[in-house]
C-alpha cells in the first residue's frame, strides 16, 4: 500500500485484502485527504468489510507486509524483523496464510535445525529458531489484536526449543589489564576510552560509540535512545569523566566510529583472549555485570544499571555473588562427618 504524488494530486494504491485481493486506487487533491481516506479503508478492512473469513486469500507475505505497515515500522528493530520474516516466508514457500498450521511450523523447525548458517558454515542455533518463532507468532498476535486477522494464531501453544543456559563469559582482572593495554596501543584513538566506559557502566558498545558530549555531565553518563528505549543515568569517577571529555567536543559525537569494532577485535587477538561467537564487544557488558556481583553488588541495582526491563534478564549474574549458596560448604554431608 502506498500514497504517491501524481500530476493530479496524491494517489492511493493498495490492496485491502492483501496481494491476492482486489486493487483499489483513488486520487485526492491533497495528501492529508489521501492519508485520511487510506486510514478509513484500513479500518474497514480490519472490521471485515472487505473480505469474509473463508475468502481471505492473503499469503504469509501479505500478512507480514500488513503487520509492518500497521505496527512493525514503529519498532526499533522493525526493519531487521521484516528482513528475518521475509526470509522465513521464502523458506516456507509463502503459503496461503489461512492454510498455515502449527504442524507446518514444526516441520519447518525440524528442517531448519539441520541447515547450516550461510555465513558461519555451522548449524543454525536453536536460539535463532526461537527468535524466528517469536517474530512470526507476534505477527499473527498483533494482527489479531488489530482485528485484521480473524483466524487463530497457528503458533499458539507451540513451545519454543529448550536451550541449555550458556556459561557466563566475562574477563578476569588479568585479562582486563591485558586488553586495556592493547587497546591503548591501538591506532584508533577512541577504543581504549570506549572500552573503559563500557567496563565502568555496563554500556553496550553501540551506546558508547554514539555517546555525545552533552550526555556526560556532573560525573554521570546519560544513556538515551537505548535498545529498549529506556533512558538511564550511570555515575562514573571524576577521573574517567575527565578522560572521556579531555580533547573531545562538549557537544555532538564524542567518538569517531570508524572501524572501532575491528580495532577492538585486533586488540582482543593481541591480548590472546578467546571469546565465543557473538561475544566480541558485548563481553565488556558481561564483565561489568559479573564483577559487580562478584564484589557483592545489589542485583536490583544491577538491573537498573544494565537497563533490563525484567529481573529475569539480570538474575543469571546473581550466582556470582560471594554469598550465593555459600552455606553449601558447611552444610554438605562431608563437612558434617
C-alpha cell at 160: 519454543
pLDDT for residue 291 is more than 80: yes
Identified catalytic residue from 73, 227, 230, 269:
227
Mean pLDDT in residue range 30-42: 84
Residues 6+ apart with CB under 8 A from 330: none
Q: Active site includes 204?
A: yes
pLDDT of residue 166: 78
Q: Is 21 found in the same domain as 71?
A: no
**Residue 111 falls inside a structural domain:** yes
CATH number for the domain harbouring residue 230 = 1.10.443.10
pLDDT of residue 47: 64
pLDDT of residue 50: 61
Residues 6+ apart with CB under 8 A from 48: 147, 150
Number of Cβ atoms within 10 Å of the Cβ of 190: 21
Q: Is 182 found in the same domain as 113?
A: no
Q: Is the pTM of this model over 0.85?
A: no
**Residue 165 falls inside a structural domain:** no
Q: Active site includes 317?
A: yes
- The DSSP letter of residue 190 is S
Q: How open is the CA angle 317-322-324, to the nearest 5 degrees? A: 65
pLDDT for residue 121 is more than 70: no
Confidence of residue 15 (pLDDT cuts 50, 70, 90): confident
Q: Active site includes 285?
A: yes
Q: Is 106 found in the same domain as 211?
A: no
Q: pLDDT digit string (tens) for 49-72? A: 665 545 788 999 999 999 999 999
pLDDT of residue 118: 59
**Residue 35 falls inside a structural domain:** yes
Q: pLDDT digit string (tens) for 169-201? A: 999 999 999 999 999 999 999 999 999 999 999
Which residue, 239, 244, 188, is CA-closest to 216?
A: 244
Q: pLDDT digit string (tens) for 122-165? A: 788 898 999 999 999 999 999 999 999 988 999 999 999 998 87
**Residue 157 falls inside a structural domain:** no
Q: Are 253 and 212 in contact (CB under 8 A)?
A: yes
Q: Active site includes 282?
A: yes
Q: Is 190 found in the same domain as 108?
A: no
**Phi and psi (nearest 5°) for 210?**
-95, 5
CA dist., res. 126 & res. 104, Å (int): 17
pLDDT of residue 5: 85
Number of Cβ atoms within 10 Å of the Cβ of 8: 9
CA dist., res. 23 & res. 13, Å (int): 7
Mean pLDDT in residue range 41-46: 74
**Residue 99 falls inside a structural domain:** yes
- The DSSP letter of residue 221 is E
C-alpha cell at 206: 553501540
- The DSSP letter of residue 211 is -
Q: pLDDT digit string (tens) for 231-259? A: 999 999 999 999 999 999 999 999 987 77
Last residue in a domain, options 108, 129, 145: 145
Identified catalytic residue from 42, 81, 98, 204:
204
Total count of domains within the chain:
3
Q: pLDDT digit string (tens) for 82-114? A: 999 999 999 999 999 999 999 999 999 999 988
Q: pLDDT digit string (tens) for 259-278? A: 799 999 999 999 999 998 77
**Residue 326 falls inside a structural domain:** no
Last residue in a domain, options 125, 145, 165: 145
pLDDT of residue 40: 81
pLDDT of residue 188: 92
Q: Is 186 found in the same domain as 107?
A: no
Q: Is 184 found in the same domain as 284?
A: yes
Is the model more confident about 225 or about 116?
225
Q: Is 195 found in the same domain as 82?
A: no
Identified catalytic residue from 11, 19, 150, 308:
308
For the CA atoms of 206, 207, 210, 213, the dihedral, rounded to the nearest 10 degrees, stands at -160
Q: Is 234 found in the same domain as 257?
A: yes
Identified catalytic residue from 160, 210, 270, 282:
282
Q: Is 189 found in the same domain as 113?
A: no
C-alpha cell at 38: 487510506
Residue range of the domain that includes 88: 60-145
Q: Is 312 found in the same domain as 244?
A: yes
- The DSSP letter of residue 5 is E
Q: Is 117 found in the same domain as 247?
A: no
Q: Is 122 found in the same domain as 209?
A: no
Identified catalytic residue from 81, 285, 291, 303:
285
Q: How open is the CA angle 80-2-139, to the nearest 5 degrees? A: 40
Q: Are 270 and 181 in contact (CB under 8 A)?
A: no
**Residue 105 falls inside a structural domain:** yes
Q: pLDDT digit string (tens) for 18-34? A: 776 777 888 888 888 88
Residues 6+ apart with CB under 8 A from 240: 196, 197, 200
**Residue 166 falls inside a structural domain:** no
Amino acid at each position: 500500500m502506498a500514497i504517491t504524488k501524481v500530476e493530479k494530486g496524491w494517489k492511493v494504491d493498495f490492496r485491502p485484502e492483501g496481494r491476492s485481493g482486489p486493487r483499489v486506487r483513488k486520487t485526492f487533491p491533497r495528501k492529508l485527504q489521501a492519508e485520511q481516506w487510506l486510514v478509513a479503508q484500513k479500518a474497514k478492512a480490519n472490521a471485515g468489510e472487505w473480505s469474509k473469513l473463508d475468502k481471505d486469500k492473503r499469503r504469509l507475505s501479505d500478512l507480514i507486509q500488513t503487520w509492518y505497515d500497521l505496527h512493525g515500522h514503529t519498532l526499533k528493530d522493525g526493519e531487521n524483523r521484516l528482513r528475518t520474516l521475509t526470509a522465513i516466508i521464502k523458506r516456507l514457500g509463502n503459503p496461503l496464510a489461512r492454510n498455515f498450521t502449527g504442524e507446518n511450523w514444526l516441520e519447518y523447525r525440524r528442517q531448519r535445525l539441520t541447515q547450516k548458517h550461510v555465513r558461519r558454515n555451522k548449524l543454525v542455533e536453536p536460539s535463532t529458531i526461537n527468535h524466528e518463532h517469536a517474530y512470526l507468532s507476534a505477527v499473527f498476535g498483533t494482527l489479531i489484536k488489530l482485528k485484521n486477522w480473524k483466524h487463530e494464531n497457528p503458533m499458539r501453544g507451540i513451545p519454543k526449543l529448550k536451550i541449555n543456559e550458556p556459561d557466563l563469559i566475562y574477563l578476569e582482572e588479568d585479562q582486563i589489564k591485558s586488553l586495556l593495554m592493547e587497546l591503548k596501543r591501538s591506532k584508533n584513538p577512541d577504543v581504549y576510552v570506549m572500552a573503559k566506559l563500557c567496563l565502568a557502566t555496563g554500556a553496550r558498545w553501540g551506546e558508547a560509540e554514539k555517546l555525545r558530549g552533552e550526555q556526560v555531565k556532573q560525573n554521570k553518563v546519560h544513556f538515551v535512545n537505548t535498545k529498549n528505549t529506556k533512558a538511564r543515568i550511570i555515575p562514573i569517577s571524576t577521573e574517567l569523566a575527565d578522560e572521556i571529555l579531555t580533547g573531545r567536543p562538549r557537544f555532538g559525537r564524542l567518538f569517531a566510529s570508524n572501524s572501532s569494532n575491528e580495532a577492538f577485535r585486533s586488540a582482543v587477538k593481541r591480548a590472546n583472549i578467546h571469546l565465543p561467537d557473538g561475544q566480541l564487544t558485548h563481553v565488556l557488558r558481561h564483565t561489568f555485570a559479573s564483577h559487580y556481583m562478584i564484589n557483592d553488588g545489589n542485583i536490583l541495582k544491577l538491573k537498573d544499571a544494565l537497563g533490563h526491563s525484567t529481573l529475569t534478564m539480570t538474575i543469571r549474574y546473581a550466582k556470582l555473588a560471594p554469598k550465593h549458596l555459600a552455606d553449601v560448604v558447611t552444610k554438605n554431608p562431608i563437612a558434617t562427618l
